[in-house]
A and B are shown apart, each in its own frame.
Chain A
Amino acid sequence: MAVNYNAKEEADGHPSGGVGAAGGGAAGGVGKSRKPDNTAFKQQRLPAWQPILTAGTVLPAFFIIGLIFIPIGIGIFVTSNNIREYEIDYTGTDSSSPCNKCLNVSWNSTPPCTCTINFTLDRPFETNVFMYYGLSNFYQNHRRYVKSRDDSQLNGDNSSLINPSKECEPYRTSDNKPIAPCGAIANSMFNDTLELFRIDNDTRISIPLNKKGIAWWTDKNVKFRNPSGHTNNLTAIFQALDTTKPVNWPQPVYMLDTLEPDNNGFINEDFIVWMRTAALPTFRKLYRLIEKRDSLQPTLQAGTYSLDITYNYPVHSFDGRKRMILSTISWMGGKNPFLGIAYITVGSICFFLGVVLLVIHHKYGNRNTSADIPN
């Protein structure tokens, strides 16, 4: 049976005893009507745009999308097709390959295994040419690999040089000396040397390869910095900090480019490029620039070239592949027809759907509108 004389709780969970009375008094004291404000927001009458997605209303959108996407797609596709690209796999897995002998090379084998591959460009490369090395099946995006670095060390922080981050383990110290640069990424740095020659009537003309300007400007100038010390001598600084080279490296970091001080140490651009870990297991990394020198002549004429490789980097163990890629570049980067095709396809689909919707609209749309609107 219902309890007839039962004090229930107040709305706010507060005891009804004192509060009921006190609250009542307070409410009475204010003497304000509890009538809610008649505002558009509180009464949920805010002016609103109500999108109605019927065939009739969205028709134009589909056509417009189609009409915009198709030209864009064509533009991208054409641009992409105009890019000249040449690629050589020099891994040497094929026994006929000149580099086959170097296949089972290990780090720092002395003397270094070298091989030369000749190739022919059918058409000239007119603009600046970018020379890449490409690796396949190399998981630079492995979680533990990606984090095996110390950014503050690379930024020239002395304390991090002395005491690298734990993330670098097990490439943090070697013989109780801190490794500079520490970590697995640095340790596994790509160390093949590629040289390009044009063979003109059996003479090998060396093609000048620019090794600067291949890294992001901000990386080179802000993110990566050499440690500072009393002297400008990088060697002295690193030695003073008592660091050691990464295990796989033939020489310490301050000897990456002994010829040019602004490309040495942590700000060596090859190093910086390597340190920007690739997103996908098949990737390319910028190696050198071949700048156009003569406005009359193409950067790379059609003809026979030879690629000299100092084969140091072992990829065979994990079934990796090494490639050398020559490519020109456009406003949208390297050669990739996908985007253009995608735009064309989507544009066409939209256009097609527009037509379908037009049919639907004519067939069914009228029925609806006539039913909805009297007269």
Chain B
Amino acid sequence: MADPIRWARYRWQRLVSTEGRDGSSSSFSCDKCYQSSKMSGRHRIVIPCLGHFKEEYEKVSKLYMNNRIRTTKYTLFNFIPRNLFEQFHRAANLYFLFLVVLNWVPLVEAFQKEITMLPLVVVLTIIAIKDGLEDYSKYKLDKQINNLLTKVYSRQEKKYIDQCWKDVNVGDFIRLSCNEIIPADMVLLYSTDPDGICHIETASLDGETNLKQRQVVKGYTEQVSEIDPEKFSSRIECESPNNDLSRFRGFVEHSNKERVGLSRENLLLRGCTIRNTEAVVGIVVYAGHETKTMLNNSGPRYKRSKLERRVNTDVLWCVLLLILMCLIGAFGHGIWLSSYPEIPLFNVPEPDGKFTPPALAGFYMFWTMIILLQVLIPISLYVSIEVVKLGQIYLIQNDIDLYDEKTDSTIQCRALNIAEDLGQIQYIFSDKTGTLTENKMVFRRCSIAGQEYCHEENAKRLESYQEADSDEDLAGTLCGSLSRMPKKKVHSCRTASGPLNQLADGSSALGGEEGASDVPHSRHVAFSSPIETDVVPDAQLLEKFSQISSHSDALSEETDREPSLETVYIADFFLALAICNTVVVSAPNQPRQKMRLSSVGRMPIKSLEEIKQMFQRLSVRRLSSSPVPSAKESSSESPSTFVSKLSIFRVKLASPAMEGVAQMAKDPGASDSPKCPKHCDAGSSLKQSPISNLCYEAESPDEAALVHAAKAYKCTLQSRTPDQVTVDLAALGPLTFQLLHILPFDSVRKRMSVVVRHPLSNKVVVYTKGADSVIMDLLRAAPAELEQKNIKERTQKHLDDYARRGLRTLCIAKKVMSDEEYAEWLNSHFLAETSIDNKEELLLESAMKLETKLTLLGATGIEDRLQEGVPDTIEALRKAGIKIWMLTGDKQETAVNIACACRLLEPDDKIYTLKSLSKDACALLMNTILEDIQKTMYARKNHSSKIMSIFQAPSTQAPEFSASLVIDGKTLEYVLHESLQSIFLELTERCRAVVCCRATPLQKSEVVRLVRNKLKVMTLAIGDGANDVSMIQVADIGIGLSGQEGMQAVMASDFAISQFKHLSKLLLVHGHWCYTRLANMVLYFFYKNVAYVNLLFWYQFFCGFSGTSMTDYWVLIFFNLLFTSVPPIIYGILDKDISARILMQLPELYVTGQKSEVYSPPTFWITLLDAFYQSLVCFFVPYFTYRGSDIDVFSFGNPLNTAALFVILLHLLIESKTLTWIHVTIMIGSILFYFVFALTFGATCKTCNPPSNPYWTMEKHMTDPVFYLVCIITTSVALLPRYLFRVLQWTLFPSPVLKAKHLDRQTPKKQREVITKKDDRVGKCRMGFQSTSACSRSAEDTSSVRGSTDHSSYIPVSKTPFQTCPGGSSEQEASFISGLQDEFRDVNSLNCERAAFLNSSKEIYSETSGANNSCIDVPEFTFEKGNSDISLKNKAGLNCSLNDQDVLM
């Protein structure tokens, strides 16, 4: 239900704009809008670039941008200044700049001036190179786009010539052929399509691949020949460029001052592709950066991750520390100076020979110290974090497990800087449709006139499909269906489906390809995988339906004779299914018919009588003629005339009562003028074979499913144009309904209607389809009609049943109106349409007025299948301590059922439903629930307080008791009210799962915002549709599912995945890794900087706080920049604490990240303490060694420095969880680099680098054994505590992570193989079994999953499905269970290990189902590898638990 909201709104706007263009009303509104825009002075005049306008043109067009685009930030000339400017917006860089400037002040100068600049220059250069490369790639793309060719009318040559996009100007005429990309926003002036329409594909704009129609400006439609730009003498006035894609207002002013309004329907947007239209001509109104597409580009979103926020606070701590140290230095220096009664020898006076007083010298010293100790602020950290994140993202994107074979898509990381947030998620907000489910709507059941039709054959078909599911989908990929498919494929399909453009050269293609490509083509379109399209009709219903053919006149004479009420109901039901939608029909291979049809499209109007006669004649003839599928050319003759007459028939049908309105609507110049279907309806109907070639392009999968269902009953939707719908009834032949109105779906009414004129009865009929809750209230409440009441009751029962089975339900109703009634309504509707203020409300009102007193026809149940692996994923995520909320627009029953199916709600959960009619009642209810939960929890807690879990989730509730909350949409509104927020949050915190039904997109985002802001937790929102966009944007991490519904969600997301199941690996593995890696790296950086800088600080105590450094400056600077920078980065990218396999199997490990265990204030301060200790050791061991000797300053610094290098690198080695050859290489490389540098520098630098000239220092030391001894002892003493700490931690207090690592390591290879093998087999087993209903499937799913991952918890879960559907699944289930038991032999070894492991960590899985502890213990402790009676025991345990389940249930 969520998705229709989106398309409904879109449709709504389209309709509004279409109808707003009608005749006088449109010019009226346009004048008005023009005036209003003129008043504000915001409009542009577009003048064609032609001779007689030349002067004016030059005057005006100068003001407008041309079509050249430049998305780059920099040019070659402004790169350096601009980039610097941008970079100095960062506080960190400013700090560095400040240091550089400070160092130029002679009084405080600590280093050589140039040297302090080095880090800044390096950082700036790295960032500048990165920016530059990014910009360059943009530049190349820009250039590529700017140099695309298009045909622009040239005044000189009087024809269209090829020009680059960049040379296109406002006012140019452009001629585009099929499949060309529109270079600029232009007004459509001509289309080869005789109806003046043109199809465009907006996939590049919004990812929607269904075609959209655009309309030639009215007045130009009639032109038979192509528009001649020379003769175009009008001028166009329109709004100033804006970014509103759904709005375009303006008018064309002809030379005779006549104005014609323009609307969105006339505008071709840059970047879209022309489809199915041979050629179009348009005049450019907006070009380049002023096009709507370009104006819609905003900069990339920049999010700061939680970890980075922490880093920032800790950097502030470092600043404080720095200031403290500098203060010590300053005071120390002052005191030291003042302790001398007279100036000592070594106190050098200022250049002018004077001495600075101690206080002032201390003040200067403060600044000198800041320069000296600057490294304490880890600037390199920021650069390193960036680099590490890039590396992490690279690895995530290359994960083969996140690759989806079916769609050939892998994960897209759109936000580059929040990867580590993936490891800290506490709440997940998930959409249901398309996210948890496949959004492949499958028609499952229907109920007509109170009679249910089970469609068992269809169910069987679906079962068989499940087995072949993968194959099918593979076939589906061959001809892509939606945007998730590679573009190329879509294109190829498109070109094939629109060969009308290729008539000239494509005849061979037509002949050659057609036969083979027909069948696959029918699947190209969205929502049309075979699962959805091939509905097997219910035998009983089919029989009843075919009776219609026997009384073929039943329909036409329905009101008079009423042959059988039920038959009429059935016929009407399917007609409604076929008509009441906005599906666009296209047939890939009937191009010629369309052409001919169009050429005769406007024949003189005949009388109604004539047409009726003709209809009768034709239908007779059609029945007699045999289909000729292969010979289209020959067969096209008669149908085309037939259809042409039909179209006349349609026009003529306008009854006298509404003549005026009809006139307006049918005004040939109006945009609503008869449009021909994209493809010939009649032609295809004539030669229709059992396999239809029709493609249905539906905007929502439900619609497609219903249309396909109708088709299965030979009630085939043949064509749809804005004015008519042709339905092919097997019994009656094609019927063309005059389409009077479409009242599109919207979330307020929750229904849509079409108003048609029945071709046989000539009555106005309203077909309505919508949510049962609304439709039921709108039914005709005539008490006399017992039959109808009966139907209503029974249907309601069926509906409830459907909902319980997790089917999406829709009610179908109709209403027959008399012409008078209709005319009356039409008048009011017309008023609504033409009003300018609050048009939408009036239209809504008008629609509501129409949709009353309906007759219920029946109801449908559509199944939306769960995506593969959803229950496993949800299970794993919950074990990981993540709370999952489901926010859906669906009704409560369906939502709860899907939630059950995907194990969001467990059968033994206590489910509270929050549904109240007022705010106060809601508050009361919440209090009651809260009390109840507390009571229950208290009772249970006493029961199980002794059992503690290491892996316990941070949730507050006792693990064995879980409450779940289901909230209704209306109640959600109350709950989101400020006064109830806190109690609501308190309530939800105690609930394991929350399901929000009937939630609007806005409510979804509000819920996310509320939880995120009030609970201060990390939230993740995942969704696939436009209705999830707001939620995705609000959450800390937004994940878009590139599914069936376009790209909006993906475009708004931070990460885009193709399957919900990928979420578990993304969070549990990559999230964990990214977080741990980055957190460890950050800590290491802090440690490294503090440890190193403190060496300098300690030295100050021995040099009179004078700011001397005992290391030469180059080594000092390079130490951070070169010698110790790469290893931590490698560590940050590649370190792997636990293998992916274990992480997936033990989702509990995720808690580490949630609690920020790795990087929290305590760990930060411990790290700093360790750094202090190590620096003390590093300084004082050499100090005591060399004390009193003749060592000079830089010879003293050298061992210090070398020891520090070893300490810092070996520290990293201790902290690393894994060491690969990369680590080792980098590590050794760093050390070698240091020595090579020091030796080279020492050998060559005779007089350079004054005053800290390290000449021959290293060389001298390399021959001195004391140097080595000092380095060794220093390194050992410095690292001993950390090493010992780690050892003791491992040995005495191993954290879950460490245990898991141990497990990881100890798992023999063979067991690993067993796991993978078993997983495969279980997967297959599941696939084969995934059939009958959502609920039973969920039960199997979970059981098999549990079996594969965690034996101890397998048994409690394997309870019988909480809802069994008819269809003999119980037998299968039994066999499944026994199959699983066989599996156990393989699983055994692993389980033993796991059991032991879990047991050792006092795991309390066994508590999950309370009563059956004893049973679980059996498999847990008696499993032994190779023991023959395992299966027996196992079975015993299983049976036992199953019995328990029964008791429980």
Contact = CB atoms under 8 A, between A and B. Distances in A.
A17 B1193 contact: no
Interface stretch (A26-34, A200-208, A289-297, A304-312): A26-34
A155 interface: yes
Contact of B1196 (A143, A165, A280, A286): A280
Nearest to B489: A28
Interface stretch (A90-98, A113-121, A146-154, A260-268): A146-154
A279 B340 CA distance: 20
B221 interface: no
A314 B1266 CA distance: 34
B1027 interface: yes
A28 B1305 contact: no
Nearest to A151: B1247
B1246 interface: yes
A357 interface: yes
B311 interface: no
Contact of A54 (B110, B1181, B1290): B1290
Contacts of A346: 1273, 1276-1277, 1280
Interface in B1104-1123: 1104, 1106-1108, 1110
B1051 A9 contact: yes
Given A2-B1026, A281-B1102, A282-B1188, A149 B1290 contact: no
A143 B1103 contact: yes
A243 B1175 CA distance: 46
B913 interface: no
B1140 A44 contact: yes
A116 to B, nearest CB: 25
A65 B817 CA distance: 99
B1266 A332 contact: yes
B1425 A374 contact: yes
Given A35-B400, A277-B1193, A371-B1396, A15 B293 contact: yes
Given A6-B1048, A338-B1185, A16 B1425 contact: no
Interface residues of B, number: 160
Interface size class of chain A, counting residues whose CB lies under 8 Å from the partner chain: 35 or more
Interface string B1244-1275: 00111011110110011000111001100100
Interface in B990-1024: 1000-1002
B6 A2 contact: yes
Given A31-B488, A149-B1250, A9 B298 contact: yes
B57 interface: no
A360 B1287 CA distance: 11
Contacts of B1221: 46-47
Contacts of B395: 42, 44
Contacts of A33: 408
A353 interface: yes
B1185 A339 contact: yes
Given A142-B1108, A331-B1265, A46 B1192 contact: no
B38 interface: no
Interface string A135-174: 0001111111111111110110100000001110111100
Contacts of A318: 340, 342, 344-346
Interface stretch (B202-210, B320-328, B615-623, B944-952): B202-210
A49 to B, nearest CB: 5
A278 B1192 contact: yes
A37 interface: yes
A138 B345 contact: yes
B409 interface: yes
Contacts of B1316: none
B1190 A285 contact: yes
A19 B400 CA distance: 27
Contacts of B1187: 280, 282, 336, 338
Contact of B1287 (A55, A139, A165): A55
Given A5-B246, A332-B1265, A22 B145 contact: yes
Interface stretch (B18-26, B448-456, B1148-1156, B1212-1220): B1212-1220
Nearest to A217: B1256
Contact of A371 (B368, B1136, B1397): B1397
A350 B205 CA distance: 68
B1269 A152 contact: no
Nearest to B1426: A375
A372 B293 contact: no
B488 A139 contact: no
A17 B291 contact: yes
B556 interface: no
A223 interface: yes
A169 B1140 contact: no
A27 B1247 contact: no
A365 B1072 CA distance: 28
Contacts of A76: 1269
A353 B1284 contact: yes
Given A52-B1302, A342-B1273, A142 B1104 contact: yes
A141 B1027 contact: no
A21 B299 contact: no
B220 interface: no
B487 A24 contact: yes
Interface stretch (B347-355, B540-548, B978-986): B347-355
A142 B348 contact: yes
Nearest to A214: B1190
A23 B140 CA distance: 12
B294 interface: yes
Given A22-B141, A318-B344, A346-B1273, A279 B1265 contact: no
Nearest to B353: A170
A353 to B, nearest CB: 7
Contacts of B1051: 8-10
Nearest to A284: B1190
A4 B10 contact: yes
19 contacts: A2-B1030, A7-B296, A11-B412, A12-B137, A17-B204, A19-B204, A24-B487, A28-B489, A34-B403, A36-B403, A47-B1221, A50-B1217, A139-B1106, A141-B1110, A142-B1108, A223-B1255, A278-B1193, A336-B1186, A336-B1188
Given A147-B1252, A171-B348, 15 more contacts: A4-B246, A5-B245, A21-B272, A23-B141, A43-B399, A53-B1286, A141-B1110, A144-B1106, A149-B1251, A151-B1250, A157-B1247, A218-B1259, A333-B1264, A360-B1288, A372-B1396
Interface of A: 1-25, 27-29, 31, 33-38, 42-44, 46-56, 58, 65, 69, 72, 76, 132, 134, 138-152, 154-155, 157, 165-167, 169-172, 184, 188, 216, 218-219, 222-223, 276-286, 314-315, 317-320, 331-334, 336, 338-339, 342-343, 346, 349-350, 353, 357, 360-361, 364-365, 368, 371-375
